[in-house]
Amino acid sequence: MHAIGVDIGGTKIAVGVVDESGKILAKVRRETVADDVADIDRAIAEACNELVKDYEVSAIGLAAAGFVSPDRTSVLFAPNIAWREYPLAQRVGDLLDVDVPVVVENDANAAGWAEFRFGAASEATDMIMLTIGTGLGGAVVVDRELVRGKWGVAAELGHMRVVPGGHYCGCGHEGCWEQYASGTALVRDARRAAVASPERAAALLALAGGNASAITGPHVTEAAQGGDALAVELLATLGRWIGEGAASVAALLDPELFVIGGGVGEAGDLLLLPVRNAYEAQLSALGHRPTAQIELARHGNEAGIVGAADLARR
């Protein structure tokens, strides 16, 4: 039976009908306003109602960036959308033209589940997904089961504290891992380097129209792929932060596989090799234990849709 997956972003949603093999059969998008939760509800419902006209679905999964309640009906807190103890499943369900279960999932859990079921980790039993984007999201699968924790908010790996007194984080604390291992951190460091050493950052500045504050993550990747030394160094620094943090996570969970998702994956080996090197350099008992594989995600921007649909169907 088909299911619908909804990937909810701060300014847009992507909605798709997914079959049991993880294939997206149809997809629509809607623009949204992050501060208007009722607008997001309406956009989700309108998109789902459009799709159910042509497809019979058994469930709808909503992938939300935030802390999800253990019964998977509400968003307890979201950093970028105005959800606070928000009954998202009920609000969307009230606007639907069909009577099917509506399930709320953390967006990183949904993306991780897509990779576990249908992607890079489809042959693994124990996996950790790291989604490297604006922040750092995590998903943990142990013995083929998604780990949600007692209160539904497990695997918020990006908010492990790695630098006491470090960069301020949107969660309200300082020094969180995502402040050093994210696309946001990459861009921050690139812009600072361009201001401090414009001659060394000439390639990045050229891509950004001469404006340091306009440098983006894709600019860094493009420059690095062209051989620019500063851009290569910036990606290596990001990779080191990811790899060292992953080694700490491995000390706790001993995964078979790490899957790296998010836009920075476009850098390929320019990111992966520093990640792997830093991971092995910090892994306890190296040489006396198997070393987890570290691979790139395969589902890209569609992972949230695929994972949310499959988890809702289950």
pLDDT tens by residue, 68-111: 999 999 999 987 788 999 999 999 999 999 999 999 999 999 99
Q: How many residues does the chain have?
A: 314
Residue 76's Cβ-count burial label (10 Å; 0-12, 13-18, 19+) is middle
How many domains are contained in the chain? 2
Reported confidence tier of residue 172, pLDDT bands at 50, 70, 90: confident
Do both 130 and 78 map to the same domain? no
Do both 192 and 263 map to the same domain? yes
Task: 190-193: list long-range contacts, CB under 8 Å, 24+ apart.
Answer: 190/215, 190/219, 190/220, 190/231, 190/234, 191/215, 193/230, 193/234
pTM: 0.92
Residue 117 in domain: no
- Max CA separation in the chain (angstroms): 61
pLDDT, mean over the chain? 95
- The string of pLDDT tens digits covering residues 218-261 is 999 999 999 999 999 999 999 999 999 999 999 999 999 999 99
Residue 262 in domain: yes
Handedness of CA 226, 230, 234, 239 (dihedral sign): positive
The C-alpha atoms of residue 76 and residue 137 are separated, in whole angstroms, by 16
Res. 10: pLDDT tops 80: no
Residue 118 in domain: no
Do both 289 and 309 map to the same domain? no
